[in-house]
Amino acid sequence: MAGSLNKVLLIGRLGADPEIKQMVNGKSVARLSLATSQTWKDKNSGEKKEKTEWHRIVVFNEGLVNVVQQYLKKGAQIYIEGQLSTRKWKDEQTGQDKYSTEIIIQGYNSSLTMLGGSGGVQNSNISKTSTNDESSNPPQNDMDDEIPF
């Protein structure tokens, strides 16, 4: 289809430590659980409201998997660019088909950038795209801000 685009941009915090697995071909894959939140003030009560969305992120790029494994932990704030993909699988207990929508980080148009704590982007952050080389600088541990999960 001409003129189509499948691109997702998210900034959020990891809800758990990354999960690193080995694929059948020997390469590593990283799975992340990313939370994005929006807040607003209820017009009727004046009460502050918040809604959190959870996103499944799958990183196939070897360089990024290494960065994820070394530097990302629960609560880390990241910016990602990837593509939506829906995967079909069979539930082993019920035998029913299940579907999962994930954001895939793979290929030239995907990236992952580590962001700092409440102060915003830090100079020592690692910003990797799948076209970058494997070299990187370690981030400073700046996760002292309150994390809701």
106 inside domain: yes
Instruction: Give the C-alpha distances (Å, rounded to integers) separating 17 from 24, 68, 72.
Output: 23, 9, 7
Which residues make beta-bridge pairs with 30? 20, 59
17 inside domain: yes
Give, rounded to a whole angstrom, the gap between the first and last alpha carbons of the chain.
Answer: 41
What is the pTM for the complete model shown?
0.71
109 inside domain: yes
Domain holding 108: CATH number? 2.40.50.140
Residues in the chain, total: 149
Q: Are 52 and 36 in contact (CB under 8 A)?
A: yes
Please report which confidence band the pLDDT of residue 133 belongs to, taking 50, 70 and 90 as the band edges: very low
Please report which confidence band the pLDDT of residue 1 belongs to, taking 50, 70 and 90 as the band edges: low
Average pLDDT, the chain: 81
110 inside domain: yes
The Cα–Cα gap between 10 and 82 comes to: 9
Quote the domain boundaries for residue 65.
8-127
Q: Is the pLDDT of residue 146 over 80?
A: no
Q: Are 138 and 125 in contact (CB under 8 A)?
A: no
How many domains does the chain divide into? 1
Q: What pLDDT is recorded for position 89? A: 85
Instruction: Please indicate whether residue 135 or residue 95 has the higher confidence score (pLDDT).
Output: 95
